[in-house]
Amino acid sequence: MSENRNIMTDQTTLERELVSRARKGDSKAFEDLVRMYQEPLYRYLCRLSENGEDAMELTQSSFVKAYFSIGRFRGESSFKTYLFRIASNTWKNTIRDRGRRRSIDIDQVSIASGDNPYEEVVRDQEHKKFWSLVEELPARQKEALTLRIREGYLFEQVAKIMGCTTGSAKASYHHGVEKLKLAFEGEDR
């Protein structure tokens, strides 16, 4: 446990140093920050956009935006939280620019295997219905679900990234969950 804490502290110290150098225009330091966070940022954007190619583009443009606004990052949250907030806004802008959301290729949606406390076998039809409903969720609800469930952020952190109050983040999350429950409607339990 203390070993993990030391690793976390080392990463925080390294992150601060890199951010400080990047703020002074050190592009190599910023490249190191990109390497540090490119995978979690891509995965987050992939979950939001439901599309790998979009996520790759969004990851790159989010980093570029983060670079140009890094002067405003004051270290009150982690750099990752700051990055995720920029990425969220970038994703939302893309949705609005397109005027519609990209469709999920539902047939390509698959379930991971592995240990999971919830062991019920999910039927194919239910699975497709579920992801259709995810596709229809308002951006804020999908964002709240992704941050809380997939990224494992607590609601206080979810709210920081979404730029809203904790209560609002919770409400978006619960409204999203309620809508997704419709996937199981009408089945025998």
Partner 1 sequence: MNVCRDKSGELLPEYVKGLLEPKEMNKVADHLAGCSECSSQLRVISLFEDKVLPEPGPWFWTTLPGKVTAQIEARRRGKTRVQISVWAGGLAAAAVAVLMLLQPGPPTQPQTGALDYSFMEIADPFPLGVEEEILSVSGMFMDDLEQVYGLDLNVLSDETVVTMDLILEGDGYETMDDETIRIFEDLLEEMTPKRVGKWVMS
The answer to whether the CB of 134 falls within 8 A of the CB of 176 is: no
In one-letter notation, the amino acid at residue 169 is A
Q: How far apart are CA 37 and CA 34, in angstroms?
A: 5
39 binds partner 1 (CB under 8 A): yes
Say how far apart CA 167 and CA 165 lie, in whole Å: 5
- CB 188 → partner 1: shortest distance, Å? 14
User: Positive or negative CA dihedral for 83, 147, 116, 49?
Assistant: negative
Query: By the 8 A CB rule, do 51 and 93 touch?
Result: no
Q: Rounding to the nearest 10 degrees, give the CA dihedral for residues 38, 44, 47, 53.
A: -30
Is the CB of 3 or the CB of 119 nearer to partner 1? Answer: 119
Helix (H) or strand (E) holding 17: helix 2-23
Per-residue binding letters, 114-153, with partner 1 (x by CB under 8 A): -xxxx-x-x----x--xx--x----------x--xxx-x-
Q: x/- string (CB under 8 A) for partner 1, residues 61-80?
A: x-xxxxxxx-xxxx--x---
Question: Nearest distance from residue 9's CB to partner 1, in Å?
Answer: 21
Site residues for partner 1 per CB under 8 A: 27, 30-32, 34-35, 38-39, 42-43, 46-47, 52, 55-56, 59-61, 63-69, 71-74, 77, 82, 85-86, 89-90, 92-93, 96-97, 109-112, 115-118, 120, 122, 127, 130-131, 134, 145, 148-150, 152, 163, 174-175, 177-178, 180-181, 183-184
